[in-house]
Amino acid sequence: MLGIIFSFSHSFTHHKIKKSALIFTILGFLAGVTLLCVRLYDPKGMNLFLMAFNRKLVVTVAGLGVLAVLMTLINFVIDKKFFRLANLFSLSVLIFAALSYLVPPILQYTREFIYFGEAGISTNAMLRALGFTLGIFVCLLISLSAYEVHKSLRNDKEKNIFLFLSVLIFALEYCAAAVAALQRLKILRTSDAIFNISVFDVMIWRGANPNAFLYAQLILALLMLLFVIKTHMKPSGNFANKALLRKEKARLRDCRRWSWSLAAWGAMAIFIVIVLHYYDTKPPAEVQPEPYEISDGIISIELSKVSDGHLHKFSYITPNKFDVRFLVVKKPAGSAYGVGLDACDICGIAGYYERGNDEVVCRRCDVVMNKNTIGFKGGCNPVPFEYEIKSGKIFIDVKELIKEEGRFK
Protein backbone atom coordinates (compact mmCIF):
# COMPACT_ATOMS: atom_id res chain seq x y z
CA MET A 1 0.00 0.00 0.00
CA LEU A 2 2.85 2.38 0.80
CA GLY A 3 4.32 1.86 -2.68
CA ILE A 4 0.97 2.58 -4.34
CA ILE A 5 0.47 5.75 -2.25
CA PHE A 6 3.96 6.95 -3.20
CA SER A 7 3.07 6.35 -6.84
CA PHE A 8 -0.12 8.38 -6.42
CA SER A 9 1.82 11.28 -4.85
CA HIS A 10 4.33 11.12 -7.73
CA SER A 11 1.52 11.91 -10.19
CA PHE A 12 1.34 15.52 -8.87
CA THR A 13 3.42 18.08 -10.75
CA HIS A 14 4.32 20.34 -7.81
CA HIS A 15 7.53 19.05 -6.23
CA LYS A 16 6.47 19.90 -2.64
CA ILE A 17 3.19 18.04 -3.05
CA LYS A 18 5.09 15.09 -4.52
CA LYS A 19 7.13 14.85 -1.32
CA SER A 20 4.17 14.96 1.08
CA ALA A 21 3.86 11.16 1.38
CA LEU A 22 7.62 10.88 1.96
CA ILE A 23 7.58 13.63 4.61
CA PHE A 24 4.72 11.99 6.51
CA THR A 25 6.49 8.63 6.24
CA ILE A 26 9.64 10.07 7.87
CA LEU A 27 7.57 11.83 10.55
CA GLY A 28 5.64 8.62 11.26
CA PHE A 29 8.87 6.66 11.62
CA LEU A 30 10.31 9.26 14.00
CA ALA A 31 7.08 9.29 16.03
CA GLY A 32 7.27 5.50 16.33
CA VAL A 33 10.91 5.67 17.47
CA THR A 34 9.94 8.30 20.05
CA LEU A 35 7.16 6.10 21.43
CA LEU A 36 9.58 3.17 21.69
CA CYS A 37 12.12 5.33 23.55
CA VAL A 38 9.43 6.44 26.00
CA ARG A 39 8.51 2.80 26.63
CA LEU A 40 12.13 1.79 27.17
CA TYR A 41 12.97 4.81 29.32
CA ASP A 42 10.24 4.24 31.91
CA PRO A 43 8.53 0.89 31.25
CA LYS A 44 7.00 0.46 34.70
CA GLY A 45 5.57 3.94 34.97
CA MET A 46 4.34 4.11 31.38
CA ASN A 47 3.15 0.57 30.66
CA LEU A 48 -0.55 1.06 31.44
CA PHE A 49 -0.65 4.47 29.77
CA LEU A 50 1.09 3.22 26.62
CA MET A 51 -1.13 0.13 26.47
CA ALA A 52 -4.25 2.32 26.47
CA PHE A 53 -2.58 4.77 24.07
CA ASN A 54 -1.74 1.98 21.60
CA ARG A 55 -5.33 0.78 21.63
CA LYS A 56 -6.57 4.30 20.95
CA LEU A 57 -3.97 4.63 18.21
CA VAL A 58 -5.32 1.46 16.54
CA VAL A 59 -8.79 3.01 16.56
CA THR A 60 -7.34 6.22 15.12
CA VAL A 61 -5.60 4.32 12.31
CA ALA A 62 -8.86 2.53 11.52
CA GLY A 63 -10.76 5.82 11.42
CA LEU A 64 -8.15 7.45 9.18
CA GLY A 65 -8.24 4.35 6.97
CA VAL A 66 -12.00 4.69 6.52
CA LEU A 67 -11.56 8.41 5.77
CA ALA A 68 -8.86 7.63 3.18
CA VAL A 69 -11.14 5.04 1.56
CA LEU A 70 -13.95 7.61 1.28
CA MET A 71 -11.61 10.30 -0.11
CA THR A 72 -10.19 7.88 -2.67
CA LEU A 73 -13.70 6.93 -3.74
CA ILE A 74 -14.72 10.59 -4.05
CA ASN A 75 -11.57 11.31 -6.03
CA PHE A 76 -12.41 8.41 -8.33
CA VAL A 77 -15.91 9.78 -8.99
CA ILE A 78 -15.00 13.49 -9.06
CA ASP A 79 -11.58 13.95 -10.64
CA LYS A 80 -10.89 17.50 -9.46
CA LYS A 81 -7.63 19.01 -8.16
CA PHE A 82 -9.12 19.81 -4.74
CA PHE A 83 -10.27 16.24 -4.16
CA ARG A 84 -6.94 14.85 -5.40
CA LEU A 85 -5.11 17.04 -2.87
CA ALA A 86 -7.55 16.10 -0.09
CA ASN A 87 -7.11 12.44 -1.00
CA LEU A 88 -3.30 12.71 -0.87
CA PHE A 89 -3.47 14.51 2.48
CA SER A 90 -5.73 11.83 3.99
CA LEU A 91 -3.40 9.10 2.72
CA SER A 92 -0.31 10.90 4.08
CA VAL A 93 -1.87 11.30 7.53
CA LEU A 94 -2.83 7.62 7.41
CA ILE A 95 0.82 6.71 6.74
CA PHE A 96 1.92 8.84 9.70
CA ALA A 97 -0.53 7.23 12.13
CA ALA A 98 0.09 3.68 10.86
CA LEU A 99 3.88 3.97 11.15
CA SER A 100 3.56 5.54 14.61
CA TYR A 101 1.75 2.36 15.63
CA LEU A 102 3.82 -0.19 13.68
CA VAL A 103 7.39 1.04 14.16
CA PRO A 104 7.70 0.44 17.96
CA PRO A 105 6.86 -3.32 17.89
CA ILE A 106 9.00 -3.80 14.79
CA LEU A 107 12.05 -2.16 16.37
CA GLN A 108 11.32 -3.99 19.63
CA TYR A 109 12.33 -7.20 17.86
CA THR A 110 15.91 -5.92 17.72
CA ARG A 111 16.04 -6.30 21.53
CA GLU A 112 15.09 -9.96 21.29
CA PHE A 113 17.92 -11.29 19.13
CA ILE A 114 19.62 -12.69 22.25
CA TYR A 115 17.47 -14.78 24.58
CA PHE A 116 17.97 -15.12 28.29
CA GLY A 117 20.74 -17.58 29.05
CA GLU A 118 22.34 -17.34 25.58
CA ALA A 119 25.79 -16.06 24.75
CA GLY A 120 25.99 -12.52 23.36
CA ILE A 121 27.40 -13.84 20.08
CA SER A 122 25.75 -17.05 18.96
CA THR A 123 24.37 -18.73 15.86
CA ASN A 124 20.79 -18.32 17.05
CA ALA A 125 21.23 -14.59 17.69
CA MET A 126 22.80 -14.14 14.25
CA LEU A 127 19.96 -16.04 12.57
CA ARG A 128 17.35 -13.89 14.33
CA ALA A 129 19.15 -10.71 13.21
CA LEU A 130 19.36 -12.01 9.64
CA GLY A 131 15.68 -12.97 9.72
CA PHE A 132 14.73 -9.48 10.91
CA THR A 133 16.84 -7.90 8.17
CA LEU A 134 15.34 -10.20 5.55
CA GLY A 135 11.82 -9.23 6.62
CA ILE A 136 12.53 -5.49 6.35
CA PHE A 137 14.35 -6.03 3.04
CA VAL A 138 11.45 -7.94 1.49
CA CYS A 139 8.93 -5.31 2.66
CA LEU A 140 10.99 -2.51 1.08
CA LEU A 141 11.37 -4.40 -2.21
CA ILE A 142 7.63 -5.15 -2.35
CA SER A 143 6.94 -1.46 -1.76
CA LEU A 144 9.43 -0.37 -4.43
CA SER A 145 8.08 -2.88 -6.96
CA ALA A 146 4.47 -1.87 -6.23
CA TYR A 147 5.48 1.77 -6.70
CA GLU A 148 7.01 1.09 -10.13
CA VAL A 149 4.17 -1.16 -11.30
CA HIS A 150 1.45 1.27 -10.19
CA LYS A 151 3.35 4.22 -11.70
CA SER A 152 3.45 2.43 -15.08
CA LEU A 153 -0.35 2.57 -15.32
CA ARG A 154 -1.18 5.39 -17.75
CA ASN A 155 -4.89 5.73 -16.95
CA ASP A 156 -5.75 7.65 -13.74
CA LYS A 157 -8.96 5.65 -13.30
CA GLU A 158 -6.98 2.41 -13.32
CA LYS A 159 -4.53 3.84 -10.78
CA ASN A 160 -7.34 4.95 -8.50
CA ILE A 161 -9.03 1.54 -8.62
CA PHE A 162 -5.92 -0.24 -7.31
CA LEU A 163 -5.27 2.54 -4.79
CA PHE A 164 -8.84 2.32 -3.53
CA LEU A 165 -8.74 -1.47 -3.16
CA SER A 166 -5.39 -1.45 -1.35
CA VAL A 167 -6.49 1.22 1.14
CA LEU A 168 -9.82 -0.58 1.58
CA ILE A 169 -8.06 -3.82 2.55
CA PHE A 170 -5.84 -1.91 4.97
CA ALA A 171 -8.83 -0.10 6.50
CA LEU A 172 -10.74 -3.36 6.96
CA GLU A 173 -7.72 -4.91 8.69
CA TYR A 174 -7.49 -2.09 11.19
CA CYS A 175 -11.24 -1.88 11.65
CA ALA A 176 -11.11 -5.51 12.83
CA ALA A 177 -8.21 -4.61 15.14
CA ALA A 178 -10.11 -1.53 16.35
CA VAL A 179 -13.05 -3.70 17.42
CA ALA A 180 -10.76 -5.67 19.71
CA ALA A 181 -9.13 -2.46 20.96
CA LEU A 182 -12.49 -0.87 21.77
CA GLN A 183 -13.52 -4.00 23.65
CA ARG A 184 -10.36 -3.88 25.75
CA LEU A 185 -10.96 -0.17 26.37
CA LYS A 186 -14.39 -1.24 27.70
CA ILE A 187 -16.18 0.87 25.09
CA LEU A 188 -17.63 -2.21 23.41
CA ARG A 189 -18.82 -5.44 25.02
CA THR A 190 -18.20 -8.85 23.51
CA SER A 191 -21.96 -9.30 23.15
CA ASP A 192 -22.39 -6.07 21.13
CA ALA A 193 -23.04 -6.48 17.42
CA ILE A 194 -21.69 -4.52 14.46
CA PHE A 195 -23.62 -5.10 11.22
CA ASN A 196 -25.17 -8.17 12.87
CA ILE A 197 -21.71 -9.58 13.68
CA SER A 198 -20.85 -9.80 17.35
CA VAL A 199 -17.67 -8.23 18.72
CA PHE A 200 -16.66 -11.64 20.04
CA ASP A 201 -16.96 -13.22 16.56
CA VAL A 202 -14.81 -10.46 15.05
CA MET A 203 -12.12 -11.01 17.67
CA ILE A 204 -12.20 -14.79 17.20
CA TRP A 205 -11.99 -14.48 13.39
CA ARG A 206 -9.11 -12.02 13.60
CA GLY A 207 -7.19 -14.29 15.96
CA ALA A 208 -7.77 -17.32 13.74
CA ASN A 209 -6.81 -15.50 10.50
CA PRO A 210 -3.93 -13.16 11.36
CA ASN A 211 -2.58 -13.06 7.80
CA ALA A 212 -5.86 -12.83 5.85
CA PHE A 213 -5.39 -9.16 4.93
CA LEU A 214 -1.74 -9.70 4.02
CA TYR A 215 -2.85 -12.34 1.53
CA ALA A 216 -5.55 -9.98 0.23
CA GLN A 217 -2.94 -7.26 -0.41
CA LEU A 218 -0.68 -9.74 -2.21
CA ILE A 219 -3.59 -11.01 -4.33
CA LEU A 220 -4.32 -7.40 -5.27
CA ALA A 221 -0.65 -6.94 -6.17
CA LEU A 222 -0.87 -10.07 -8.35
CA LEU A 223 -3.93 -8.72 -10.17
CA MET A 224 -2.21 -5.37 -10.69
CA LEU A 225 0.97 -6.88 -12.09
CA LEU A 226 -0.96 -9.22 -14.38
CA PHE A 227 -2.93 -6.25 -15.65
CA VAL A 228 0.30 -4.34 -16.32
CA ILE A 229 1.89 -7.31 -18.10
CA LYS A 230 -1.16 -7.77 -20.30
CA THR A 231 -1.42 -4.09 -21.23
CA HIS A 232 2.33 -3.56 -21.70
CA MET A 233 3.22 -6.33 -24.12
CA LYS A 234 3.40 -4.34 -27.36
CA PRO A 235 3.69 -0.65 -28.24
CA SER A 236 0.49 0.96 -29.43
CA GLY A 237 0.00 4.00 -31.62
CA ASN A 238 2.26 5.64 -34.20
CA PHE A 239 5.85 6.74 -33.64
CA ALA A 240 7.67 9.48 -35.53
CA ASN A 241 10.85 7.44 -35.76
CA LYS A 242 12.43 4.16 -34.71
CA ALA A 243 14.22 5.78 -31.79
CA LEU A 244 10.91 6.68 -30.14
CA LEU A 245 9.64 3.15 -30.84
CA ARG A 246 12.72 1.64 -29.20
CA LYS A 247 12.26 3.98 -26.24
CA GLU A 248 8.65 2.86 -25.81
CA LYS A 249 9.65 -0.81 -26.08
CA ALA A 250 12.28 -0.26 -23.38
CA ARG A 251 9.67 1.37 -21.13
CA LEU A 252 7.27 -1.49 -21.61
CA ARG A 253 10.05 -3.98 -20.91
CA ASP A 254 10.92 -2.19 -17.66
CA CYS A 255 7.26 -2.26 -16.63
CA ARG A 256 7.07 -6.01 -17.18
CA ARG A 257 10.30 -6.56 -15.28
CA TRP A 258 9.03 -4.61 -12.29
CA SER A 259 5.85 -6.66 -12.46
CA TRP A 260 7.81 -9.88 -12.26
CA SER A 261 9.85 -8.35 -9.42
CA LEU A 262 6.63 -7.67 -7.52
CA ALA A 263 5.54 -11.27 -8.16
CA ALA A 264 8.87 -12.65 -6.94
CA TRP A 265 8.98 -10.64 -3.72
CA GLY A 266 5.30 -11.27 -3.06
CA ALA A 267 6.00 -15.00 -3.38
CA MET A 268 8.93 -14.57 -0.99
CA ALA A 269 6.63 -12.88 1.54
CA ILE A 270 4.17 -15.79 1.33
CA PHE A 271 7.05 -18.26 1.71
CA ILE A 272 8.23 -16.43 4.85
CA VAL A 273 4.77 -16.14 6.37
CA ILE A 274 3.75 -19.74 5.68
CA VAL A 275 6.81 -21.99 5.33
CA LEU A 276 9.48 -20.29 7.45
CA HIS A 277 6.95 -19.31 10.10
CA TYR A 278 5.78 -22.92 10.30
CA TYR A 279 9.29 -24.25 10.86
CA ASP A 280 10.08 -21.45 13.31
CA THR A 281 6.97 -22.02 15.45
CA LYS A 282 6.57 -25.76 14.96
CA PRO A 283 6.32 -27.24 18.45
CA PRO A 284 9.08 -29.71 19.28
CA ALA A 285 8.24 -33.35 19.62
CA GLU A 286 6.69 -34.13 22.97
CA VAL A 287 9.04 -35.94 25.35
CA GLN A 288 7.32 -39.07 26.58
CA PRO A 289 7.23 -39.57 30.36
CA GLU A 290 9.72 -42.13 31.62
CA PRO A 291 8.92 -45.00 34.00
CA TYR A 292 9.72 -44.93 37.72
CA GLU A 293 9.10 -47.05 40.81
CA ILE A 294 6.43 -46.19 43.37
CA SER A 295 5.86 -47.81 46.74
CA ASP A 296 3.71 -46.68 49.68
CA GLY A 297 3.13 -43.31 48.04
CA ILE A 298 6.83 -42.66 47.45
CA ILE A 299 8.21 -42.29 43.92
CA SER A 300 11.84 -43.37 43.45
CA ILE A 301 14.02 -42.62 40.42
CA GLU A 302 17.50 -44.07 39.92
CA LEU A 303 20.10 -41.29 39.61
CA SER A 304 21.93 -43.37 37.03
CA LYS A 305 18.94 -42.99 34.69
CA VAL A 306 18.92 -39.17 34.84
CA SER A 307 22.63 -38.36 35.19
CA ASP A 308 23.34 -37.76 31.48
CA GLY A 309 22.66 -34.00 31.69
CA HIS A 310 19.55 -34.21 29.50
CA LEU A 311 16.01 -33.28 30.44
CA HIS A 312 13.90 -36.18 31.77
CA LYS A 313 10.13 -35.97 32.13
CA PHE A 314 7.89 -38.00 34.41
CA SER A 315 4.16 -38.12 35.05
CA TYR A 316 1.97 -38.95 38.03
CA ILE A 317 -1.81 -39.38 37.79
CA THR A 318 -3.39 -38.14 41.01
CA PRO A 319 -6.49 -39.75 42.61
CA ASN A 320 -8.50 -36.89 41.05
CA LYS A 321 -7.22 -37.93 37.60
CA PHE A 322 -4.91 -34.95 37.09
CA ASP A 323 -1.75 -35.62 35.10
CA VAL A 324 0.98 -33.90 37.15
CA ARG A 325 4.17 -33.73 35.07
CA PHE A 326 7.57 -33.14 36.62
CA LEU A 327 11.16 -32.86 35.40
CA VAL A 328 14.59 -34.00 36.49
CA VAL A 329 17.90 -32.78 35.05
CA LYS A 330 21.49 -33.09 36.26
CA LYS A 331 23.02 -29.64 36.63
CA PRO A 332 26.23 -28.86 34.72
CA ALA A 333 27.99 -27.58 37.81
CA GLY A 334 28.82 -30.26 40.36
CA SER A 335 26.67 -33.28 41.15
CA ALA A 336 23.40 -31.51 41.99
CA TYR A 337 20.07 -32.23 40.30
CA GLY A 338 17.28 -29.86 39.31
CA VAL A 339 13.77 -31.12 40.07
CA GLY A 340 10.55 -29.22 39.37
CA LEU A 341 7.11 -29.33 37.80
CA ASP A 342 6.67 -29.20 34.04
CA ALA A 343 5.00 -25.82 34.64
CA CYS A 344 5.85 -22.35 35.91
CA ASP A 345 4.12 -19.46 37.67
CA ILE A 346 4.32 -17.25 34.56
CA CYS A 347 3.47 -19.49 31.60
CA GLY A 348 1.33 -22.06 33.39
CA ILE A 349 1.43 -25.64 32.17
CA ALA A 350 2.95 -24.89 28.76
CA GLY A 351 5.90 -26.98 29.88
CA TYR A 352 9.49 -27.27 28.69
CA TYR A 353 11.51 -29.05 26.06
CA GLU A 354 15.19 -29.66 25.38
CA ARG A 355 16.83 -27.88 22.46
CA GLY A 356 20.21 -29.15 21.36
CA ASN A 357 22.31 -30.72 24.05
CA ASP A 358 22.28 -28.03 26.72
CA GLU A 359 19.17 -25.82 26.47
CA VAL A 360 15.94 -26.25 28.42
CA VAL A 361 13.34 -23.97 26.80
CA CYS A 362 9.86 -22.84 27.81
CA ARG A 363 7.31 -23.87 25.18
CA ARG A 364 5.25 -20.69 25.53
CA CYS A 365 7.71 -17.80 25.85
CA ASP A 366 10.80 -19.51 24.36
CA VAL A 367 12.98 -18.42 27.30
CA VAL A 368 16.07 -20.57 27.77
CA MET A 369 16.46 -21.90 31.33
CA ASN A 370 19.78 -21.89 33.09
CA LYS A 371 20.03 -25.53 34.18
CA ASN A 372 21.81 -24.48 37.37
CA THR A 373 18.72 -22.51 38.46
CA ILE A 374 16.21 -25.33 37.89
CA GLY A 375 14.85 -26.26 41.28
CA PHE A 376 14.79 -22.65 42.49
CA LYS A 377 11.81 -20.31 42.58
CA GLY A 378 11.38 -17.31 40.33
CA GLY A 379 11.08 -16.27 36.70
CA CYS A 380 10.10 -18.89 34.19
CA ASN A 381 11.79 -21.69 36.13
CA PRO A 382 9.93 -24.97 36.70
CA VAL A 383 7.97 -24.75 39.96
CA PRO A 384 10.06 -26.52 42.64
CA PHE A 385 8.69 -28.98 45.20
CA GLU A 386 10.10 -31.04 48.07
CA TYR A 387 12.14 -34.17 47.29
CA GLU A 388 15.03 -36.11 48.76
CA ILE A 389 18.17 -37.68 47.32
CA LYS A 390 19.80 -40.61 49.09
CA SER A 391 21.22 -44.04 48.32
CA GLY A 392 21.61 -43.17 44.64
CA LYS A 393 17.92 -42.35 44.16
CA ILE A 394 15.55 -39.39 44.06
CA PHE A 395 12.58 -39.86 46.38
CA ILE A 396 9.35 -37.87 45.91
CA ASP A 397 6.31 -38.09 48.16
CA VAL A 398 3.21 -38.14 45.95
CA LYS A 399 1.54 -35.79 48.46
CA GLU A 400 3.86 -33.05 47.15
CA LEU A 401 2.56 -33.65 43.64
CA ILE A 402 -1.07 -33.82 44.75
CA LYS A 403 -0.62 -30.36 46.29
CA GLU A 404 0.15 -29.02 42.82
CA GLU A 405 -2.53 -30.88 40.85
CA GLY A 406 -4.61 -27.69 40.57
CA ARG A 407 -2.04 -26.28 38.16
CA PHE A 408 -2.73 -29.07 35.67
CA LYS A 409 -6.51 -28.68 35.35
For residue 313, give its domain range: 293-408
Residue 151 sits in the same domain as residue 204? yes
Flag whether pLDDT at 357 surpasses 70: no
Residue 161 sits in the same domain as residue 85? yes
For residue 321, being part of any structural domain is answered with yes
Boundary-marking domain end, from 229, 248, 281: 281
Residue 11 sits in the same domain as residue 142? yes
What pLDDT score was predicted for residue 118? 64
pLDDT digits (tens, 9 = 90+) for 168-187: 999 999 999 999 999 888 89
Residue 271 sits in the same domain as residue 332? no
Residue 185 sits in the same domain as residue 327? no
Question: Which of the residue ranges 6-10, 321-325, 351-355 has the most confident prediction, judged by mean pLDDT?
Answer: 6-10
Question: Which of the residue ranges 44-53, 123-132, 346-355 has the most confident prediction, judged by mean pLDDT?
Answer: 123-132
- Three-state secondary structure along the chain? CHHHHHHHHHCCCCHHHHCHHHHHHHHHHHHHHHHHHHHHHCHHHHHHHHHHHHHHHHHHHHHHHHHHHHHHHHHHHCCCHHHHHHHHHHHHHHHHHHHHHHHHHHHHHHHHCCCCCCCCCCHHHHHHHHHHHHHHHHHHHHHHHHHHHHHCCCCHHHHHHHHHHHHHHHHHHHHHHHHHHHHHCCCCCCCCEECCEEHHHHHHHHHHCCCHHHHHHHHHHHHHHHHHHHHCCCCCCCCCCHHHHHHHHHHHHHHHHHHHHHHHHHHHHHHHHHHHHHHHHCCCCCCCCCCCEEECCEEEEEHHHCCCCCCEEEEEECCCCCEEEEEEEECCCCCCEEEEECCECCCECCCEEEECCCEEEECCCCCEECHHHECECCCCCCCCCCCEEECCEEEEEHHHHHHCHHHHC
Percent of the chain having pLDDT more than 70? 97
pLDDT digits (tens, 9 = 90+) for 288-304: 888 889 888 898 998 88
For residue 313, being part of any structural domain is answered with yes
- Report the domain count for the chain: 2
For residue 401, being part of any structural domain is answered with yes
pLDDT digits (tens, 9 = 90+) for 194-251: 778 888 888 888 888 888 999 999 999 999 999 988 888 888 778 888 898 898 888 8
Residue 195 sits in the same domain as residue 341? no
For residue 286, being part of any structural domain is answered with no
Residue 276 sits in the same domain as residue 387? no
Neighbours of 352 (CB within 10 A): 30
pLDDT digits (tens, 9 = 90+) for 140-158: 999 999 999 999 888 888 8
For residue 322, being part of any structural domain is answered with yes
Flag whether pLDDT at 378 surpasses 80: no
Residue 298 sits in the same domain as residue 276? no
Residue 275 sits in the same domain as residue 313? no
Residue 212 sits in the same domain as residue 351? no
Boundary-marking domain end, from 281, 304, 329: 281
More confident residue, 341 or 357: 341
For residue 288, being part of any structural domain is answered with no
pLDDT digits (tens, 9 = 90+) for 15-45: 888 889 999 999 999 999 999 888 888 767 6
Residue 10 sits in the same domain as residue 103? yes
pLDDT digits (tens, 9 = 90+) for 85-117: 999 999 999 999 999 999 999 998 888 787 666
Q: What is the CATH number of the domain that holds 346?
A: 2.102.10.10
For residue 287, being part of any structural domain is answered with no
CA 283-287-291 angle, to 5 degrees, is: 165
Residue 191 sits in the same domain as residue 303? no
* Its pTM surpasses 0.85: no
pLDDT digits (tens, 9 = 90+) for 249-285: 888 899 999 999 999 999 999 999 888 888 877 766 6
Boundary-marking domain end, from 281, 301, 331: 281
